[in-house]
Structure formats: C-alpha cells, structure tokens
Structure 1
Amino acid sequence: MKPPSPYSLPRVGIAAGALATIALVSGIIAQPQAAAPAAPGAPAGATYVGEAVCIACHTPQNLQFSHTLHANAFRLNPRNEKEKLSCEACHGPGSEHLKDPVSPGNRGSLVGFTREWGTPVAQQNAMCLSCHQGGSHQNWAGSVHAINNVACSDCHNPMAKVSASGLLKKPTINETCYSCHQQQRAEFAKRSHMPLPEGKMTCVDCHNPHGATSKAMLKADSVNELCYNCHAEKRGPFLWEHAPVRDNCLNCHNAHGSNHDKLLQVARPYSCQQCHGNPGGHQAAFFNAGQTVGGGAGINTRVLGRSCQNCHSQIHGSNHPAGARFQR
C-alpha cells in the first residue's frame, strides 16, 4: 500500500478536522520550529509554525504549488533550514498571521507576492533576492525594472505552473513581456519583424530582464555587438567601412519591426537620403516615383526599384580594393 503524502490532506468530518487543526496549531505554537534566518521585514517576535499549519487552510494553493519548481526544491531537496520551511521560506514566519488570518490590518505579518496584498515591492524583491543572487540577477539593483518598481512577482508566479518552464506568470516569455511593453508588441505585428510571433525568438534572446550594464538591458556591451551574434557577416572589420553602420545598426534599422523591408526605419532610397541628400553625379529625377516607372529622361534598369543598393550592394562594408563606393 502506498504511504500517504505529507502534502495531501485526509478527508475527515468538519468537526474532527477542526479539532485536529486546533490541536496541531496549539502543539506547534507550544513547540516552535527549528531556527531559521529571520525573514526580511518580519514582525518582531514572530515564529515559524510549519507547512502543515499553512496547508490546513490553504488547500487549493497547496495543490497548485505542489507542481512547481519551488515545491520540488523545498520538499525534495532543501539546501538549508530555511528551505525546509516551504511556505514560510518565502512568506516569512506565520505565527502572527495565525493569530488573525482574516483582518486586512494584519496583512503586514506576512510577505505577500501580489499587488493587492500590499507588501512593499522592495520587501518582496528582497525575499526573492535572498536566494536568487549572482549570475543573470547580479545587475538587478539599478536596472530599469528595479528603478520602475517592478516586482519579481509581476513576471514570475512561484505558486503555480503556468508556463512550460514553470517560472512565468504567463504561458510564454513574450506574453509576459507584452504585459507592459505594448509598443514593442505592436511593432512585432508589422510586416517586417523579428521572428518572435513565429516562435523562433524570445525577448530574452536580446535582453536580460534582470538587468545589464548596457542600455536597454541588452545582453551585449552595445547594439552592434548584440546584432553581430547572429549577423556575423556584418561584423567586419572591413577595408572600406560605412560610418553610420559601424556607429549603430539602429541608425538604419528598427530592432523590433517595421513596415519597410529589412526592418528599415524608412523606405529605400529615403533611408540613404537622410545622409546623402544630394548624391553627386545622380539626377534627382532618378528617385522620383514618376520617373522610375513607365519611362522618362535618364531612366535605366539601375534605378528601377528606386534603391541605392541596386548599385551600392555592399552597404555594410567592403573588402574589395575598388570597394570605396560599396559597389562590390
């Protein structure tokens, strides 16, 4: 016969269950749990009561939590005394909450991880960061998200397995980011876009949501270094460099999406004309719509399509001895 799980509650009558709970609570209060580090912001004198007391009331939450990564870590492979506490490892000692579990004025006795509960974001994040330090989290302090009072629980749900990874508040990384970043979501819907809607990329392929030393929380030291991770052929160095390209890929491209080909900020040839307003040796009529279709003075196949790149094809840089004009 399979032994009962310590995390499932037996089906008993209401009276018997109530008496058992009272006896259990009384016994635990009389005999405090093993010492564990004090929780950030815990009330003075609060003591740990143990997981069994918590799940006596929070049965639905326990059923959801049982399938999460935190539950597996705390219950099957705890690394220290704090993790053995399970619920109280994150929510703090529960003795004060146990005395008055329903009064809104007593919410400060526990750390809550919802905006409605009212625990300050700094206190919530301090609890998470007490375990999740270093690595990708080492630049959280001072990050754009931290400065804007984003809580770990705004993106993560440790109490239920919502995503495949078991970490997020939404089913996917991109949906989680879109909760706030609506402008970027709209850009990904444009006809030329990074392949996030197709599931070939995620926001965290380029950004570290936990903070970075670079602008926009990029996972590289600069925009160009990030782009070169995939577009290595554009890295160079080249014998003939194109200054705007070398300066910043975003001088010409939109990183998320555009209604123009190749993620361009503006359509060709206007992208080039932002710098080359009056290209020497070129007739202005070449680039007028009325002159590039249906015939006209000076028309030839090179200007059909109204793209400078019909001739200047190596616009990102050239190693050809005669490549100063980026034509080869």
Structure 2
Amino acid sequence: MSKLSYFLRLFTAFLLCAFSFIGFTAEYVGSKTCVNCHEDAYQDWQGSQHQLAMQHASKESILGDFNNAEFISNGKVNRFYTKGDQYWVNIEGPDGKFHDYQIKYTFGVEPLQQYMVEFDDGRVQLIPFTWDARLKSEGGQRWYDLYPDKTTTDEFYWTNTGQNWNFMCADCHSTNLNKNYNPETNEYKTTWSEISVGCEACHGPGSEHLNLTKDNKNTDTLSTSNFGFNRDLSKAVKEWVYEEGKPALQPRSIEKTDQVQVCAQCHSRRTQISESNDHVAGEFQDRYLLSMITPQLYHNDGQIYDEDYVYGSFLQSKMAEKGVTCSNCHNPHSAELAVPEEAVCAQCHSPADYSPEKHTFHEANSEASQCTTCHMPTTTYMQVDPRRDHSWQIPRPNLSELTQTPNVCTSCHEGESNKWANNSLKKWFPNSKHNNQQHFSVAFYASSINHASAGDALINVAQDSTQSDIIRASSLQRLAAYPSDKAKQALKESIKNDNDMVRIGAIKGSAGYAFKERWILLQPLLTDPVYAVRTEAAGALVRYWSALTVQQRAEIKKPLAEYIDIQMFNRDRGFGYTNLANVYRSQGKNELAIEAYQQAMKVEPIFINSYINLADLYRSQKQEIIGFDTLMKGIIAKPDSGPLNYTAGLSLLRQKQSQKAANFFKKATELTADNPQYWLVYGLSLENINLTTADYALNQAFKLSGNPEHLYARCDMLLKHQSAGVKAKACLEDLTPYAPANMMQQLKARLQ
C-alpha cells in the first residue's frame, strides 16, 4: 500500500470518528448526483420498478387512458379525462355523489398502475380504478375496479385509511419520507427527498460519500469506511464451495451484511413504529414491527396467503439460513433477475443433479420443469399481479391432505388428488426424508382447529432449534391460547433467545397467564436492546398497572414511555389512539382514556376496537346504556362487523333483554360464520326462546372449534328439556370419547 493510500485511509477514519463525535448527520443529495461515477448502476435503475415507484402525474408518467375514457362499475359511469396538462377523474365520493378529482401522482408501472388524489388536508388517496398495464393480448390495456365490492364503511374504500398513501404506502414508495402528521388539525404535511425509490433509499444519505470522494475518485482508498455510508450492502457469502454429498454449493463462511435488512424495509409486512430509529445501524425491529406467520397472512405451512412482500417468506427458507441475500438472484438496481431464470438456481444447485430425469420428471424446458414452478409458486394479488413465494417450499401433498393447504402438484393437475400426487412423489423420491408428516404445519393446523394436542405440538416447534426463527416465534405467539406449565417453560427459555422475533413471540404467547407469572416472564425484556421488544413487553404489562408495586412501576416507566411514543407516532390511525387509551385506562386515567377512544373514532370511524373498548370502560363504570349507545354508533359506522354486533348482544344480555340480544348474536354469526364463540353464545341465548335453533347453534360451535366444552354445553342444555330426550341421548354418545367416565355417568343419570 502506498503512503498516500495509507494516509488517505487514516484521514478517512479520523473524519468518520470526528463526525460521529460531534453528532454529524449525513444529508440526502439525490440520485442525479450519482450518475457521473456510477453510470452503469444508474442506467440499470432508470425505468426500474424502484425508479418508477411513484411519479408526478404527467404525459410521460401516465399509462392509463385519460382520453375521455369511460368505465362502468356497479352500473355507474366513471370518466377519465384531461384539462390541459392535468389529469382528472369523475368518480363517486364518500357522500355517494360524483365529483371531479385531479390526479396528482402515479403509483407503479407494471403489471398495473394506480393513481392518487391529494386532498386539502394533505391526505393522498389511491382511487379505486386501476390501469391494467399488460399487453392487450394478455388482457391488459383496460381500466378495472380494484375493490368492486367495497363500500364507504370498508377499510379499503378509496377515501378510507386502507387506501391512504401517507400511512400505508409512502415509506416504501419514496426516499427519506417524513409522514408529518399533525394530530391537532388531523392533517398531513408529508415530505420526501425524492418522490420515488432512489439510490439513497437503500444506500442511505450520500452527502458524506460525496465529501469523501470529491477530490479523489479512487474509491478503493475509502473502502474501510463503506465509502462514506453507514451500510454494508455486500453479499453475506463471498465464496461458495463444493462439499462431498451435498447437492448444492455451501457457504465457506457467512459474514454480517445489512443488505437483507435494507430490502426488508419495504419488502415486508410490518408496522412502522419509529421514524428516527435506524433499522440498519440497529435492528430491523428498532423501526418496524414485523408480522409473524399468522393465519391471516399465511397458510398453515407458511405459504403466502395475503400479501407478505417477501421478507416473512424468505426468513422461513433454507436460502436465508445459508446466507443467500437478495442480490444473489436480483440485480439490486434494476430489480430484475441478475441472470436468466433458468440459470439463477444453477448458481448453487448442480444442473446434473436437478435434471428432468433425476428431479423434475417433467418434459425438459417446459414450464412444469422450471425450478420456480414447483418451489416458488405464484399467488395473484390486485387481480393481475402474480408474485412468487420466497419460502422455497418443497411440495408436500401428504401435508396438504392433512393440514388443508394448497400444493403445486394439484394446482396444476386439477383433476388429481393429494393422494395421487403423494404417490407420484414417493415413486420419484422413495428415499426422501420428506416422506413423513414431521412439519411445523401440523402444529399450526392443530392450533387452527383447536385440537387437544395443539399446545404440545406448538411447544415442540418453538423449542426445535432446526426451525427458522420466524417459525419458532410464530409458534410461541400461538401458544397464547394454550397456557400450561410446559408452555410457560418454553416461553421462559425463549425470552432468553438471541433472536428478537423469538422474544416478541414469547411476549405474545404469554398473554394467557396471570399477572405474577407474566411479570416474572417479561420483566427481563423491559431493558431489551431492541426497541420493539422492550416496548411490546411494556405494552403487555401496563394492563396490570394497579397491581404493580412502586419498584415495578419504576422498571416499566422508560419502556412504557417509548411504547406511548409509538402510539403517538401512529395517531393518524385508530389503533394508535386506542392503544394510548388502553394505557390511560390501565393507569386509572379514565377521562383521558375516554377522550383518546373518541379521538380514535374521529380519526378512523371504522376502527371497531375503539367502540368496543370504550363501551367496556363505560360498563366498568356501571354506565351500560352509554356503553350500548357507543356500540350502536360503531355499528352505524361499521355495520358489517361481527365483533360489534356480538358485543352489543352481550350488553343487551346484561340489560336483561334476551330476545334483542339474540338478534344481535344472530347477526354476528351471519357476519362472522367461522367464529365458534359467537355460535356458542347465540345458542345459549336462545335456550328459552327457540330450542331447535339453540341446538343448531351449539352444534355449529362444536363443529367449528372441536372444543369438547362446546359439546358439553349442548348436551347440558338438551338434558334440561325433556322434549329433547332423543337428541340429548345422541349428544351424550358424541361426548363420551371426550369426557371422563364419572362425568358421563352423572350426565346419563339425568336422562329421563
């Protein structure tokens, strides 16, 4: 190394230390400053999904037909037209009348493009009509209604929160985004450095990089400082090596890199909890709370169900375990595959071992013989946007048969069964270790049907170190429904786990325990180094405020203040104010709680938890009538809510109005037909009103839950009524396999 290079490196290190010492903050300089030195990367970025993620509406950016085009949806004519250089739509607003709205921004380019309207209060909303940007031969070049069934009371109605750019979309579609929500005026003044996803969205602010390279373009001399950036976006594996007996190359070593965390900022299903915390210099969950593998987002075997944006799938995979990063497959600047699709997997997996004769058993070069067809199946979202599953599942039709999950074999061979597919795989791979039913999906499925063995199965998954961390965390989270001494021990061990997802899973899984047990479990996490972990622990424990000692309140004070900061940051959504109100209520500050619940209703009228929680607060104050009126306001705002109707029914039961209560319970079961609790309470409320319907409802509760207690409730009710003797006898026969002999003896003695 030359003396000049040496001194340059030394000087660079000195500068970085000095800037750190004096609190220097790098600034955003814009993608155009990068082109002179990084022309190839810049040209790759041009025209990419990142560069075109969001644009000002203009002749150059608009793809849709605004030439006085008309589109009929639900029998109503919507019009798309121009006024000079401006783009406008005439569509229905929340008042049921048609209005003219100016399109200010575009969203995306392929396979669809969305359009946004900006309102006077700073809200930017996505209109419901989307341009299908595919070729006409593929069914594109047309307008379509993205959510044709949504009404003004739905979250995803175009002027409601589900279609709000400021909260839902902005952080990922622009660079250096600041939401700037003002809760006093309920307005946004959202800002960005760059309207789309620019260079600094991934690399971080570039001013220091420019300063360090301004007089010396030989960036090799600056490598010790990541070229002036605080992020290392290199690949985790620098060398892949062959190992005897392994069908794929193995990493010589896996080094720490920030690349996946940077991509995960946008390519993940998560909730933002901070704008100031750095998810790269720190941990991902210092800034975002990641969604786990839940039934709402994933199938029982971890396949994508709802949109997960890749990261949650990727974390389940063997690829993540082996150190594969996004740029192993994708060009990070164009976002396209780095090499042709058929060659991507062959970078590590020997083509000789995965030939049609040895592995795919389908015609060579056919769609069925592609790696991605079987291991990365697509799910289509937004009607025209197929996205690949990045968990790289191995097709397991035997598990699909057991756990009611889809598989690629029968999705292609629609006329065949899972059994047929499983037999085929056994012929092709007779010695495969996957010819068994050992898989976390069995535990997740058992939990979904409330099987008696679900608790133990989830514990086994949670304690299995061979499982991915996100699966272990998700298993712990589901343990909340199955408290036991064994489960408590699993939670205790998981709280000490090095992975923050696992620790958060343990927090969620501890919900079923009494205060003293839960405090012992969660108290160590109040000082956890990861923001999401300590704040989630504080949020879980504050509900026991009245039972906390002076010392315990002192321990929870700092992380609770941070938890409150998160809710303050999210006061543009109903959940932010509602969580804040829950804290106030726990602390006995009921007036503040009532005010916060009411603010939640104002900010997001369709957020049902605010009505339910406020009604419960009124109930605790012996103001049942006011509580019921609150629930009715909620039902007016959100008439298709099963929980609101159910809770209103409970209120009427407490008011001794059984018939009216039964009507609300009936409505709840109609709106949420898969909830066994609603069917149970509906059935019990009808016992002295309509025994036949009551029997049907209780039977439905048991069918849905598999819970013997629901079957017992049905038998007990029938035994009270002599006219139901035959049904009661049949019910007892059904109950016999579940109940102890002495209990059955007592029940049978009641038969007339």
**Richer in helix (by share):** 2
Q: Which has the higher contact order (CA 8 A, sep 6+)?
A: 1
Question: Which structure has the highest strand share of the two?
Answer: 2
**Structure 2 length-normalised TM:** 0.23
- TM-score normalised by L of structure 1: 0.49
